[in-house]
Structure 1
Amino acid sequence: MRIPRIFTEQRLQTGELAELEESASHHLSKVLRMQAGRELILFNGKGGEFAATIHEVSKKHVTVSVATHTADNRESPLVLELAIGISRGERFEWVLQKATELGVTKITPLITERTEVKVGGDRQEKMLDRWQQILVSACEQCQRNLLPELSAPIHISDWLNTVNSEFRFVLHHRDSKTLPADQKPNSVSLLIGPEGGLSETEITLAQEKNFNALTLGPRVLRTETAPVAAISLVQYLWGDF
């Protein structure tokens, strides 16, 4: 039987009892219907994971007994940032989930000329909370113990001034360049547009900031397909695939 992996924000210590947050407790007790004595794996994003056993199940909370710590984080040796224009609805959430599963280190949502999603104020805070929960759920599923860093939405021109990755690529389906497989960078930034892609001005601006144009074959990929293909190739060449 599969042992559930549960994320918690609290400090974990071998030999101590920990009361899980309400959402995690509800999932274990109401959805999975788990009782005292069942085994769990806990992680808090600080590194490694803990074996645990359910100690007590109450109406609102599950208390667990924390056991041994394992230091494995299952992280790629490549520091990989995905900067992508915010797309509408479930498309962007799907990208967040798959990028996490594929081992991205950092995700930066971009506001571009063709971004149609409105961000800012309370709406942005709610979006970030939801996006963060998607990353947590993806890490629980794929067995990562460190959450990818999630940045607040930023205008593409502002973000370009902050990039310091060794290799930088902007996806551009009208360019013929491919990845330099014979080289071995330690860090990579991938820049991908929203629906409709990046504008010519934005591509030119990226190239002025030392981004190399990158194509992924002769077909035009959707905004949710392109990052999965690009991340997979990068991880295969320079990461842990």
Structure 2
Amino acid sequence: MTARFYYPDRMIPGQIVTLPTSTSHHVTCVLRLKQGDKITLFNGEGGEFSGIIKCTDKSRNTVMISQFHEIERESPLSISLVQAVSSNEKMDWIIQKSVELGVNSIQPVTANRSVVRLSKERANKRLLHWQQVIIAACEQCGRNRIPKLLPLLTLSDWFSQQFEDKQKNIENRHAHNFLLSVTANERLSGFPLPMTETPLILLVGPEGGFTIEEEKTAYAAGFVSICLGQRILRTESAALAAIAAMQTLWGDY
């Protein structure tokens, strides 16, 4: 497979672009690509560009853009993952794999039982890091559109937004809202195929799960609780299993 890289700016065939320093380092020092090698670039707006490396250097690589390809690898499902923040490695794993599985947006939240508590400064650093995790996952899995990463919120603030949006009667009024709960009896297979472009919102708790009060608030916001079988999954497994199940039942698997 041709190496793929995210290039954040506009591209047109015939243009020579200079890759960012971090990308150039990966091209030269990790993949050891050379002048004349073919690569693929995408800017997150859809489609991808084939290119040829014109100049290689540890800190600076130039690429001649040769052709644009209208290739889309997006799922037919519009899945938004609302994930309670977990420890660094677990959260990176959840974000990386959920992107590979086809989510459209990721909303990190802190819940009452969240082990990880981030100050504003640390939260901003983590968001920058998670954004790079998303981009790297897109480079690896072939997606040409970058899923949206939303600012970190407390779960209560996020619920407040949901109630406000519901009152304004905007697009998520028709969403299918699913809450993973160990006490639930319903399963995804019991729900009908969502209408085209119907938003699917998946709410996943922290290591200790949601409190009773948080689940009650979720129900008031229009969520239905679902389970993923008879076994209790860790938070880093639960979200991915649910997304994979959605894609199998209704998506492109």
Same fold (TM > 0.5): yes
Q: Is the 2:92–2:130 contact (alpha carbons within 8 Å) kept by the matching residues of 1?
A: yes
Structure 1 residue matching 2:76: 3-state secondary structure:
coil
Equivalent in the alignment of 2:85: 86
Equivalent in the alignment of 1:182: 192
CA offsets per residue over residues 69-109 of structure 1, 9 Å max, x none?
11112111111000010001200100000000000000000
Report the alpha carbon displacement of residue 59 of structure 1 after superposing the two structures with TM: 4.3
Bigger Cα displacement from structure 2, 103-112 vs 114-123: 114-123
Structure 1 residue matching 2:236: 3-state secondary structure:
coil
Q: Is the 2:22–2:59 contact (alpha carbons within 8 Å) kept by the matching residues of 1?
A: no
1:208 equivalent in alignment to 2:220:
yes
Query: C-alpha separation between the residues in 2 aligned to 1:117 and 1:129?
Result: 17
From the two aligned structures, give the one with the greater helix fraction. Answer: 2
**What is the TM-score when the length of structure 2 is the normalising length?**
0.91
Query: C-alpha separation between the residues in 2 aligned to 1:67 and 1:162?
Result: 45
Equivalent positions of 1:136-175 (< 5 A) are 136-163=135-162, 164=172, 166-175=175-184
1:54 equivalent in alignment to 2:66:
no
Q: Is the 2:14–2:66 contact (alpha carbons within 8 Å) kept by the matching residues of 1?
A: yes
What do you get for the CA RMSD once the two structures are aligned? 1.2
Aligned residue type for 1:183: L
Q: Is the 1:181–1:237 contact (alpha carbons within 8 Å) kept by the matching residues of 2?
A: no
Query: C-alpha separation between the residues in 2 aligned to 1:59 and 1:213?
Result: 51
Structure 2 residue matching 1:169: 3-state secondary structure:
strand
Equivalent in the alignment of 2:72: 73
Q: Is the 2:110–2:117 contact (alpha carbons within 8 Å) kept by the matching residues of 1?
A: no
Aligned residue type for 1:50: F
Report the alpha carbon displacement of residue 183 of structure 1 after superposing the two structures with TM: 3.3
Equivalent in the alignment of 2:166: none
Query: C-alpha separation between the residues in 1 aligned to 2:28 and 2:58?
Result: 9
How many residues get paired? 240
Query: C-alpha separation between the residues in 2 aligned to 1:92 and 1:142?
Result: 18
Instruction: Return 5+ residue gaps in structure 2 as ranges.
Output: 163-171
CA offsets per residue over residues 21-70 of structure 1, 9 Å max, x none?
00000000111111110000000101110000001113420000001111
CA offsets per residue over residues 194-239 of structure 1, 9 Å max, x none?
1111111101100011100111111111000001110011112222
Structure 1 residue matching 2:202: 3-state secondary structure:
strand
Query: C-alpha separation between the residues in 2 aligned to 1:79 and 1:8?
Result: 24
Equivalent positions of 1:2-81 (< 5 A) are 2-81=1-80
Q: Is the 2:82–2:108 contact (alpha carbons within 8 Å) kept by the matching residues of 1?
A: yes
Instruction: Return 5+ residue gaps in structure 1 as ranges.
Output: none
Bigger Cα displacement from structure 2, 160-169 vs 125-134: 160-169
